[in-house]
Chains A and B, each alone.
Chain A
Amino acid sequence: MSDLRALYQEVILDHSKNPRNFRVPDPVDHFANGINPLCGDKLTVYLHVVDGVIDDISFEGSGCAISTASASMMTQRLKGQTVEQANAVFEQFHELLTSSVEQKTSDDQLGKLSVFSGVREFPMRVKCATLAWHTLQSALSGEQADVSTE
């Protein structure tokens, strides 16, 4: 029960029901599609990057609470960041989801994203939480191919 509460925190449920930046920005210069064939989640991440800085970031699609909330909070966290900073945040986020013990680093860049720490107890759901982030990386790398979690 406590694990479930840790997974479905208020913030996560709020973002899954009312996703932020759920739109196509104008202009768009990078985008990519991500799918999780296991559960049918599909989303598209859009970016407008100016001089290495993420000027605008948004997404559209359908998915479970974890993947939708993760995409929504990702867009909030990364808007205004440089591409390098975005990659560093993803690295820490991935560590948060997959490390066996909670690690507090001195340069914690996750902020509100740390609410996803509960996903660690649900290995089957890590792919839900990382779908938007893998799709972001694909969009930034300029590969237009679809990303799959499988």
Chain B
Amino acid sequence: MTALHPQALISENLRADFPILQQKMHDKPLVYLDSAASAQKPQIVIDTISSFYETGYANIHRGVYKLSQDATEAYEHARNVVRDFIGAAEAREIIFTRGTTEAINLVAQTYGRSALGPGDEVLITEMEHHSNIVPWQILCEQTGAKLVVGLMDDTGTLLLKNFAELINARTKLVAVSHVSNALGTINPVREIIELAHAQNIPVLLDGAQAAPHMPIDVQALDVDFYTFSGHKVYGPTGIGVLYGKAALLEAMPPYQGGGDMILSVTFEKTEYNEIPHKFEAGTPNISGVIGLGVALEYLQGIGMDRIAAHEAALLSYATEKLEEIPQVTIIGTAKEKAGVISFAVEGIHPHDLGTIFDMDGVAIRAGHHCAQPVMEHFGVPATARASFGLYNNFEDVDMLVQTIQHAMEVFS
């Protein structure tokens, strides 16, 4: 079977950078196909975090002593790495958050609270993750605004014409996933941004599933807000990024009050700090930021173009192999897709598939993928989902296929 494999685009040596992949699961080699839920961490990220705590740790933006200065420099260096990774103009446009979820909530509660009123609209799509639905529902309850949903077709492709028609004078924000987590669809974000900007409406992109898989250039996209999570780009959990255009961030009220986000405090009046610090109240996740910076440098060392091509090759091989099994239906067959493959196996519930896969050492996601409206569209309670990372290879796809066969045997 291996002889038929297409050329791998990323060296097998990179797999060795991920210690967790060297272990066995239920006495079988671990085949990790759940990177869309969270990616595994390369040794350099693990080592950087542990050595920071061992030799470099202090609070930042405070101490006059060297340890604190060095920690501050490492933290701000990571901000610059993020700026470079997404092609932002200035480091002050990078806000560190707990993750994509907090980044979206931040925009909803600051930009949204100040810009939206009764009768205004927030436009999203049918394929959003719950984290790009619920913050807007909360905002709509608070402001009397309305949530409007652009539809997709049965391949999981956004109906762009329908979407364009939904943009109107009452639309105050467009918030769309760059890549769908449940279906893998890559949305036509350039066109969406052009449509919205034609009516002076800002656009937020949920980049949680895009940032790990493709080069991102926020300036070329001319996007207003871009969000992503550290743990999905091979970095630590509990850290994420909100990019915002400087002019927008400066005009927005603060999100949380506390230390670090102020210039001066009296009981009469508080002067807020400059961006990005205005949005980073309290001692931040310092080691998380530093770990994230190293993860992004690691990805840049490989090249996001190479990672995208490698995962595209895996996706196309997996799609071909799964289509050969008559009992398998792939859910999400858009032309433009990133390395996610959601599927159903006739007569076997995804949860049962997940258990059988686990016993074969194969980790996949089974469930609604925090996208219940997507499940509803396709009339399924849940799907099984395999997703790829830079460390996956064609043998992993072969194991996926073998395990589906095994599950069908168990259920026959």
Spell out A's residues near B (CB within 8 Å): 1, 3-5, 7-8, 13, 17, 38-42, 62-66, 122, 124-125, 128
User: Could you tell me if B350 and A39 are in contact, using CB atoms closer than 8 angstroms?
Assistant: yes
User: Could you tell me if B381 and A4 are in contact, using CB atoms closer than 8 angstroms?
Assistant: no
Could you tell me the distance between the alpha carbons of A1 and B26 in the complex, rounded to whole angstroms?
A: 9
Could you tell me the distance between the alpha carbons of A42 and B356 in the complex, rounded to whole angstroms?
A: 21
Bitwise interface map of B from 330 to 370 toward A, beta carbon under 8 Å scored 1, else 0: 00000000000000000111111001100100000011100
**Which one of B348, B352, B368, B411 lies within 8 Å of A40 (CB-CB)?**
B368
Spell out B's residues near A (CB within 8 Å): 347-352, 355-356, 359, 366-368, 372, 375, 381-382, 410-411
Task: Using known A-B contacts A64-B349, A64-B351, determine if residue A40 contacts B367 with beta carbons closer than 8 Å.
Answer: yes
Task: Using known A-B contacts A39-B367, A40-B368, determine if residue A65 contacts B359 with beta carbons closer than 8 Å.
Answer: no
**Which one of B366, B367, B411 lies within 8 Å of A13 (CB-CB)?**
B411
User: Could you tell me if B411 and A41 are in contact, using CB atoms closer than 8 angstroms?
Assistant: no
Q: Taking the nearest CB of chain A, how far is it from the CB of B359, in angstroms?
A: 5
Could you tell me the distance between the alpha carbons of A65 and B347 in the complex, rounded to whole angstroms?
A: 9
Q: Give B411's nearest chain A residue, CB to CB.
A: A13
User: Could you tell me if A124 and B381 are in contact, using CB atoms closer than 8 angstroms?
Assistant: no
Q: A13-B411, A39-B351, A41-B381 are in contact. List 12 more A-B contacts (CB 8 A).
A: A4-B355, A8-B411, A17-B347, A38-B367, A39-B349, A39-B366, A39-B382, A40-B372, A40-B375, A62-B381, A64-B350, A64-B351
Could you tell me the distance between the alpha carbons of A122 and B349 in the complex, rounded to whole angstroms?
A: 16
Could you tell me the distance between the alpha carbons of A66 and B375 in the complex, rounded to whole angstroms?
A: 21
Q: Taking the nearest CB of chain B, how far is it from the CB of A92, in angstroms?
A: 24
Contacts of A41 in B (CB 8 A): 351, 381
Contacts of A8 in B (CB 8 A): 352, 356, 410-411
Q: Give A13's nearest chain B residue, CB to CB.
A: B411
Task: Using known A-B contacts A64-B351, A66-B352, determine if residue A1 contacts B359 with beta carbons closer than 8 Å.
Answer: yes
Residue among B349, B356, B375, B382 having the largest count of chain A Cβ atoms under 10 Å: B349
User: Could you tell me if B355 and A42 are in contact, using CB atoms closer than 8 angstroms?
Assistant: no
Could you tell me the distance between the alpha carbons of A99 and B303 in the complex, rounded to whole angstroms?
A: 51
Q: Give A61's nearest chain B residue, CB to CB.
A: B381
Contacts of A63 in B (CB 8 A): 349, 351, 381
Could you tell me the distance between the alpha carbons of A87 and B352 in the complex, rounded to whole angstroms?
A: 28
Q: Taking the nearest CB of chain A, how far is it from the CB of B236, in angstroms?
A: 25
Contacts of A128 in B (CB 8 A): 351
- 5 CB-based A-B contacts, threshold 8 Å: A8-B352, A39-B366, A62-B381, A65-B348, A65-B411
Q: Give B349's nearest chain A residue, CB to CB.
A: A64
User: Could you tell me if A40 and B382 are in contact, using CB atoms closer than 8 angstroms?
Assistant: yes
User: Could you tell me if A40 and B347 are in contact, using CB atoms closer than 8 angstroms?
Assistant: no
Contacts of B366 in A (CB 8 A): 39
